[in-house]
Amino acid sequence: MSLVLTTDQKYQALLEALREMGSAVIAFSGGLDSTLLLHAARQALADKVLAVTVVAAYTPEHEREEAKTTAQTMQARHLLLNVPFPEAIRNNPPERCYLCKLSLFTRLTAVARAEGIPYVLDGTNLDDLDDYRPGRKALGELGILSPLLAAGLTKQDIRDLSRVQGLAWDKPAGACLLSRLPHGTRIEEAELRRIDQAEGFLRELGFTAVRLRSHGDLARIEVPRDQVAVVIEADRQHGIQARLTALGYRYVAVDLAGYRMGSLNEPAS
């Protein structure tokens, strides 16, 4: 008979595993998963934890700022690690997540070595195994540990624990700006800034779960399906079309299928 652990038991197992490490570097995006991991690491390791937020041209500005604010609130030692654009992913290849993780986590392991810290951790959870995550191959090659996954924590566990621990528990999923562009598209920093500005405007209007998929001169807005009509009304009141046109888009469309993670990975039918 298999033993089914409660969420609290999983969390206690997480704390114990972190204590045994002694010290750790945490890849800290400021999202739901890495925030809980940093919180647990602070409980288990006190000051023997370093949160590192990688800042690249394709890091959304609001995610960088949220990571800074969250780390400050936790009084955690925090490093913003600015990195150049990895030229291996300049043309946004299908294996970009693997190549990107390999590049960025190689830099994180270098930070850990310089600090004399034996472990680098990421926030992968059990539900991530059901999603297409090519970057996990790179984590395995580099020896990156995923304590939330090892403890058997699901996304719902993480939300429940975050609520109990007084952390933000309803953050929408984040993703780098490269996910807004089709594979095979040459990536220019100016285009990434344009996407970031457009999404920032949409978030200012209250659309927290939003993606701006960029197809040359076409901007395709994805929001949950029950908010599609809200986008139309927001355009009437706040001029979404005009704002995005000013950013250089000729056409602005709302995707009737709604927001989907990795929609640009979907095969044509």
pLDDT at 265 over 70: no
CATH class of 188-265: alpha beta
Mean predicted confidence (pLDDT) in 144-171: 93
24, 119 contact by CB (below 8 A)? yes
Q: Sorting pLDDT into bands at 50, 70 and 90, what band is 175?
A: confident
Q: What is the pLDDT of residue 9?
A: 95
Mean pLDDT of 245-249: 97
Confidence of residue 1 (pLDDT cuts 50, 70, 90): very low
Cα atoms in the Cβ-side hemisphere of radius 13 Å centred on 242: 6
**pLDDT, mean of residues 89-108:** 94
Does residue 2 surpass a pLDDT of 60? no
Residue 268 has pLDDT above 50, yes or no: no
Q: What is the mean pLDDT of residues 5-9?
A: 92
pLDDT in tens, 180-224: 999 999 999 999 999 999 999 999 999 989 999 999 999 999 999
Find where tokens 């913003």 sit. Answer: 80
Give domain 7-164's CATH number out of 1.10.443.10, 3.40.50.300, 3.90.850.10, 3.40.50.620. Answer: 3.40.50.620
What ranges do the domains of the chain cover? 7-164, 188-265
- Per-residue pLDDT at 168: 87
Predicted local confidence at residue 131, as pLDDT: 65
The pLDDT score that the predictor gives to residue 106 is 96
pLDDT at 156: 95
Closest by Cα among 100, 35, 27, 44 to 66: 35
B/e letters for 200-225, b = 16+ CB within 10 Å, e = fewer, are ebbeeeebeebbbbbeeeebbbbbee
Q: What is the pLDDT of residues 16-41, one digit of tens each?
A: 999 999 999 999 999 999 999 999 99
Per-residue pLDDT band at 171 (split at 50, 70, 90): confident
Tell whether the model's pLDDT for residue 267 goes beyond 60: no
Mean pLDDT of 114-142: 88
Please provide the average confidence, as pLDDT, over all residues in the chain. 92
DSSP E strands in 70-174: the ranges are 77-82, 120-121
The pLDDT, as a whole number, for residue 14 is 97
